[in-house]
Structure 1
């Protein structure tokens, strides 16, 4: 059977990469189509996943609609001769639209409640939608909730084992006894980030974290400026999760990396005006994260981060184990979702 996987963000590579391998090993014909967004193509090459680039990265939020239209048009032209059976996508606008044009099924995975435009465009045309059980809302008639997070498709212990501490600290120029703090700055270029805000003063945040004893390294896709550029993490993109696992603390504006840190057992301070169900659950139910959205979010978040640096112990490991006891390997969810639809063509052909 023919399965099409759509990739529009580097995190989608991680989300699908194990499922792509398992589908191919099961004899499925898998085709991966990607919009060029750094470092998505680099990751696909590193994991030796065959792929086709069919659209460039959008220049800004204003050009996103045109870029999306071009992506969907090129996707349709690329797949119509493949006679696809199933489309898989995160967010899933292109997957749901082109699947409908091809007479195929589509499964949309989402965990972002405030992605209202994306959800409105994708979900009504999708065959089914899958979300973590903590997702706040109901999306259509075939909405499947599962006990997990997107990040557990690739960071569940079944899927991930961190690199050695010494190799990661050497790559970051950090000493063995330093309290490593990863500071994540968002690029704010996604449609669901319009109007969102995070840290109000990055330089002040770095100064406060250093004064509390942290050794700060910054991961960001945006320009940092002369003062902050020396703090930039410069490891290959496939090693970023090893970096998060090695850190004593994560502070940042990006929800994906905040959740990745939390599920790895690294305490996560998420500073963003937008709220998300999975971050709320990681904070309130498991104590693996701290979320700051409203007024004085910067000040309150940095105050919490500096306090955590003064009180590091092994409670994060215990909290992570409690979370993992409740949650599933999300790659298994992807496979179950795909297998709901892939037998249909076989059954249909058998009756001819």
Structure 2
């Protein structure tokens, strides 16, 4: 069958990369169409995934609408040429719309309940909506739940073995705990009016005063005084750093969840809760979330307490989580092949029984 995979964010590359390889290995034709966003295209190139870029990067919410419209129009044109059986995406606004227009099946994966604009535009048109079992909300008969997280499509131990030696590339005393802090730009449509830490400088100072070596990965510009803390690494190596760190503090839910499934304790600081961050905290104790007006102070208190904690067996907590969760890539492939078989059956001619 013919499958179109659409990529609009770096996380989408990670999510689909193993499924693309497996689908091609099973003899399916896979076409990858991308919109430039942060380092998405860089990752496609790093993983040697054949792709076509259909639209550039937006620099504001206003320009995002224009870029998205351009991307969807070009995706429609290419889909009419490819004639896919299945179109898949995370979020899936363009994918669901285009699939409807070209009579392909659409399989949408998502895990962000508060992204209401995306869900309103995508879900009504999608044939299948796949979410983690902890997703808050019901999409109806088309809803498929699975026991896992997006991050286990690429960080499950069957898919990823971290290289913790990356720590040796920075000037960090081996006896000092390493903290990676992820700072968000708050530029996504579902981030409007939301926030995380009050001061990045205060985050670094508090953690350094606790004896940690702090490195930052930031979507926007950092204050000049913190530029020396900026982590310079190839985007495809970030997960090695998350595994090598002793603690991750993050305004982004994806980074926090990535750290958690790797067995690195994560402090998540954001004004919005998600089903998967809640479950990783309540059920497995791998993530600690702070949402209210006191989140800055309380999160830093928790971060310092984790650095001072020598008793918690984080690897045991990770093992307990992995015992109950699946390799999500396997589920991706199953959903795409099932949808593709349904589409192929629909377009096959009906042969009358000669008897």
TM-score by length of 2: 0.96
The residue that corresponds to 2:348 in the other structure is 349
Residues 90-109 of structure 1 correspond to what in structure 2 (within 5 A)?
A: 90-109=90-109
Secondary structure at 2:198's aligned position in 1?
coil
**2:225 corresponds to which residue?**
227
| 1:160 corresponding residue in structure 2 | 160
Structure 1: 4+ residue segments shifted above 4 A: none
Q: Does 1:50 align with 2:50?
A: yes
Larger deviation: 170-179 or 262-271? 170-179
After TM superposition, the structure 1 = structure 2 runs for residues 242-281 of structure 1, keeping only pairs within 5 Å, are: 242-281=240-279
Give the Cα–Cα distance (whole angstroms) in 2 for the partners of residues 251 and 74 of structure 1.
38
Q: Which blocks of at least 5 consecutive residues in structure 1 are unaligned?
A: none
Counterpart of 1:227 in 2: which secondary structure? helix
| Helix, strand or coil at the partner of 1:342 | helix
State the partner residue of 2:61: 61
1:171 aligns with 2:178: no
Deviations 1:313-351 (A, max 9, x none): 451111000000000000011011111111234434364
Residues 172 and 234, structure 1, Cα contact 8 Å, conserved in 2: no
Provide the alpha-carbon RMSD of the alignment: 1.1
Distance 1:37 1:50 in 2: 17
Q: C-alpha displacement at 1:63, in angstroms?
A: 1.9
Moved more, 334-343 or 168-177: 168-177
Shift of 1:202: 0.8
Residue-by-residue CA offset, 1:202-251 (whole Å, 9 max, x unaligned): 10110000011110000112100210111011010000000000000000
Contact 1:172/1:233, CA 8 A, preserved across alignment: no
Residue-pair matches, total: 350
- Map 1:12-31; keep pairs closer than 5 Å: 12-31=12-31
1:189 paired residue number: 187
SS in structure 1 opposite 2:263?
A: coil
Tell me the distance in 1 between the aligned counterparts of 2:234 and 2:83.
36
**Runs of 5+ consecutive residues of structure 2 not aligned to the other structure:** none
**Distance (whole Å) between structure 2 residues aligned to residue 351 and residue 20 of structure 1:** 31
TM-score, normalised to structure 1's length? 0.97
Query: In structure 2, what is the Cα distance between the partners aligned to 1:82 and 1:136?
Result: 35
Report if the CA contact (8 A) 2:107-2:339 is conserved. no
Per the alignment, residue 119 of structure 2 pairs with 119
